């Protein structure tokens, strides 16, 4: 997949005509995947045209807005889907002021001949452009809302699921396990003192699931391990205002600081709790480890 970054509304013409799926694609969930597969069906090279940062985030001035799939992760998923081009438009004040006519002229210039959009897609200044406007200028394919288990699949709904730690339903909506990538950084070392050494993950701009303990798999140096993960503020020892993402990896006892890890969430096993003593916490962690071991026995997991 060739990635093209568009800055200052300066578009280069693609060397060949393309069919482009247009949207924001946070999460690249089943609804997004339906758009992308539709894009690949029409005989042209395929493209995804997206925006960074997300327009609504930029316009509402939300700092450090958490994402289901930050840009690099999203690009990796799109590449594995077999997309030929990904066009990332740097969304700023100038872009926000562009009229729907200017938007249409720009993508026509880019050699986009066909468009695929969701039924509720809007574009241009104050979201004045609709799919009806696009259909006047392009061979246009509208994708209806994607419903699974009587629920419309959307990034908003997936965030709601993550916020309560409902990982199995999240996986169904994404079509894959929810995962977080990040570098392993130094933490408080409290886990090692408790007999459960953990990898502290710099989760950057990811949307974190609810506080609690999770059964997870991790990809580290191209090897899959199982483990348990805690998300939260460490209320028993070493409380922190910023939530932490820490993983205890089964059978791994080596220096992995500075390495990049991907954590795949299978199931939440309990909420984060404050314990009356160090000993009570250790006893609960032992029970959590047994629970996660049992869950991992019949798991045949690959990325």
For the chain, which ranges sit under pLDDT 70? 187-194, 239, 301-303
The reported pLDDT for the residue numbered 299 is 81
Task: Encode 175-215 in three state secondary structure.
Answer: CCCCEEEEEEECCCCHHHHCCCCCEEEECCCECCCCCEEEE
Whether residue 219 sits in one domain with residue 113: no
Whether residue 190 sits in one domain with residue 139: no
Does the pTM surpass 0.85? The reply is: yes
Whether residue 275 sits in one domain with residue 229: yes
Asked whether residue 248 is domain-assigned, the answer is yes
Whether residue 122 sits in one domain with residue 206: no
The reported pLDDT for the residue numbered 76 is 96
Domain count, the chain: 2
Asked whether residue 34 is domain-assigned, the answer is yes
The reported pLDDT for the residue numbered 302 is 62
CATH number at residue 52: 3.40.50.620
Asked whether residue 236 is domain-assigned, the answer is yes
Whether residue 144 sits in one domain with residue 20: yes
What is the residue range of 251's domain? 177-296
């Amino acid at each position: 997949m060739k990635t093209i970054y568009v800055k200052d509304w300066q578009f280069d013409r693609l060397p060949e005509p393309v069919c482009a799926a247009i949207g924001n694609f946070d999460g690249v969930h089943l609804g997004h995947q339906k758009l992308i597969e539709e894009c690949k069906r029409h005989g042209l090279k395929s493209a995804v045209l997206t925006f960074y940062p997300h327009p609504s985030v930029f316009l509402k001035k939300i700092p450090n807005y958490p994402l289901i799939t930050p840009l690099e992760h999203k690009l990796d998923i799109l590449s594995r889907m077999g997309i030929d081009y990904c066009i990332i438009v740097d969304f700023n004040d100038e872009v926000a002021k562009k009229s729907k006519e200017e938007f249409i002229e720009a993508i026509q210039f880019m050699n986009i001949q066909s468009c695929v959009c969701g039924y509720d897609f809007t574009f241009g200044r104050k979201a004045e452009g609709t799919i009806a406007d696009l259909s006047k200028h392009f061979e246009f394919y509208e994708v209806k809302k994607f419903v699974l288990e009587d629920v419309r699949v959307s990034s908003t709904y997936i965030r709601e699921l993550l916020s309560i730690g409902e990982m199995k339903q999240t996986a169904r909506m994404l079509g894959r396990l929810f995962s977080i990538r990040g570098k392993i950084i130094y933490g408080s070392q409290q886990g090692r003192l408790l007999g459960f050494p953990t990898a502290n993950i710099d989760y950057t701009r990811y949307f974190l699931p609810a506080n609690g303990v999770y059964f997870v798999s991790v990809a580290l140096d191209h090897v899959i391990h199982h483990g348990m993960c805690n998300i939260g503020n460490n209320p028993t020892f070493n409380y922190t205002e910023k939530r932490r993402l820490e993983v205890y990896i089964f059978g791994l006892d080596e220096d992995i600081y500075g390495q990049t890890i991907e954590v795949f969430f299978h199931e939440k096993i309990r909420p984060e709790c404050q314990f009356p003593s160090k000993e009570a916490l250790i006893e609960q962690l032992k029970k959590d480890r047994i629970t996660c071991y049992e869950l991992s026995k019949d798991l045949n997991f690959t990325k």
